[in-house]
C-alpha cells in the first residue's frame, strides 16, 4: 500500500511521550531541533491521556521536514469520522508530513468496550476509507501475525512497539518487500550496561502487565518467569542499553532484519512519566551524531 503519497519517514526517528506531554513551548522547540538534526519522523504516543489530535496539531507547524506520526492513535478513544475531518482540515503541506499510526491499545486500558480487536480495526479502516483517508497514509501498531497481515493488505505498513530484531525479521517475512516496517526501539544511552538496564527495567515491567505485550514476548521465546520478574534477558532484548556503539549495533540489527525505519524511545530517567525534555535533548543530539 506504500505509494509516492506516503509520508517519508527516513531511516531514524524519535518516539517520545515527552514531545506530547511536556511543556508546550519546550515541546515545540524540541521538535524543531529534532527536525534540524535530521530525524526523519517524530512519533507521538496516543494510547492514553488527553486529546491527541490537538497535540499533533501543535507539533506539525513546529517542524518543516520531519514527518509527524501518531504512535499510536487509540481507535477506542477517537471516532474515525472526527479523525478524518481533522486530517482533511490540515494544510496541504502538513498533511503531506503526517502519518496516521493506529492501534487497538489493550483490554486492561480500554475496559469493557475492548472486544475483537482485529474486527474493530477493520471496521475503523473502513470508516476512514469511506471518509476519504487513504490507506497509504496509515500504519498499524501490529504485534501479532493477523494484525501484521492487515497492515500489509490495508495500509502503508506496520509500526510495532517493544520488539526485537527477531520480531522485525518475522514481520518483514509477513509484510513482504513493499510495506513500511518501522519498529520502535527503547534506548538507554549509558556506558555502564548494568545501570542502563536498571533504568530500562521499570518501563519493561509496566508493559509486561499488558497481555498484548506479554503474548508478543512469549511468541519470541520468553518465558512467563522472564515476564513476571522482568529478567535481564528480556530487558536486554527489548531495550538497547549501553554506549553509542551499542545503540548503533541494535539499530543495524533491525535494518539487517528488514526494517525501513527505526524510531528510538530514549529513556533518561528512572521514573516513567516524568516527561523531562531537558534530560533527553542532549541524548537526542548525541544519537544524531552517531546515527544520522
What angle separates helix 80-89 from helix 117-130, to the nearest 10 degrees? 40
- 165: its cell numbers: 530484531
- Tens of pLDDT, residue by residue over 150-165, are 999 999 999 999 999 9
Instruction: Give CA–CA dist 206/37, Å, rounded.
Output: 31
- 239: its cell numbers: 531495550
Q: φ, ψ for residue 139 (rounded to 5)? A: -130, 160
- 209: its cell numbers: 502487565
- Tens of pLDDT, residue by residue over 89-124, are 999 999 999 999 999 976 566 666 677 999 999 999
Q: Which regions in the chain score pLDDT beneath 70?
A: 49-50, 106-113, 269-274
Instruction: Give CA–CA dist 19/65, Å, rounded.
Output: 17
The superfamily (CATH) of domain 12-291 is: Luciferase-like domain (3.20.20.30)
Reduced to 3 states (helix: H, G, I; strand: E, B; else coil), residue 152 is helix
pTM of the entire predicted model: 0.95
Nearest residue to 167 via CA among 215, 125, 216: 216
Q: Are strands 41-46 and 12-15 parallel, antiparallel or unpaired?
A: parallel
Instruction: Give CA–CA dist 82/122, Å, rounded.
Output: 17
Instruction: Give CA–CA dist 110/94, Å, rounded.
Output: 30
Reduced to 3 states (helix: H, G, I; strand: E, B; else coil), residue 292 is coil
Amino acid at each position: 500500500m506504500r505509494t509516492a503519497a506516503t509520508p517519508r519517514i527516513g531511516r531514524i526517528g524519535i518516539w517520545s511521550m515527552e514531545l506530547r506531554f511536556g511543556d508546550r513551548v519546550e515541546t515545540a522547540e524540541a521538535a524543531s531541533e529534532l527536525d534540524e538534526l535530521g530525524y526523519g519522523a517524530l512519533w507521538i504516543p496516543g494510547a492514553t491521556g488527553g486529546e491527541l489530535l490537538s497535540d499533533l496539531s501543535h507539533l506539525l507547524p513546529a517542524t518543516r521536514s520531519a514527518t509527524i506520526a501518531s504512535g499510536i492513535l487509540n481507535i477506542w478513544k477517537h471516532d474515525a469520522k472526527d479523525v478524518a475531518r481533522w486530517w482533511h482540515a490540515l494544510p496541504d503541506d502538513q498533511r503531506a508530513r503526517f502519518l496516521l499510526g493506529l492501534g487497538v491499545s489493550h483490554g486492561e486500558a480500554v475496559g469493557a468496550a475492548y472486544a475483537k480487536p482485529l474486527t474493530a480495526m477493520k471496521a475503523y479502516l473502513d470508516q476512514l476509507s469511506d471518509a476519504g483517508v487513504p490507506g497509504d497514509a496509515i500504519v498499524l501498531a501490529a504485534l501479532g501475525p493477523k494484525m501484521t497481515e492487515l497492515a500489509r493488505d490495508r495500509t502503508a505498513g506496520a509500526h510495532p512497539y517493544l520488539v526485537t530484531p527477531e520480531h522485525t525479521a518475522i514481520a518483514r517475512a509477513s509484510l513482504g518487500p513493499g510495506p513500511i516496517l518501522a519498529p520502535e526501539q527503547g534506548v538507554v544511552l549509558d556506558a555502564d550496561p548494568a545501570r542502563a538496564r536498571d533504568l530500562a527495567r521499570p518501563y519493561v515491567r509496566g508493559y509486561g502487565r499488558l497481555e498484548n505485550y506479554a503474548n508478543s514476548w512469549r511468541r519470541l521465546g520468553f518465558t512467563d518467569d522472564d515476564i513476571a520478574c522482568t529478567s535481564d534477558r528480556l530487558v536486554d532484548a527489548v531495550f538497547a542499553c549501553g554506549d553509542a556503539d551499542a545503540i548503533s549495533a541494535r539499530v543495524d540489527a533491525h535494518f539487517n532484519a528488514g526494517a525501513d525505519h527505526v524510531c528510538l524511545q530514549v529513556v533518561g530517567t528512572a521514573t516513567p512519566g516524568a516527561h523531562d525534555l531537558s534530560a533527553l535533548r542532549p541524548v537526542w543530539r548525541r544519537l544524531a551524531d552517531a546515527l544520522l
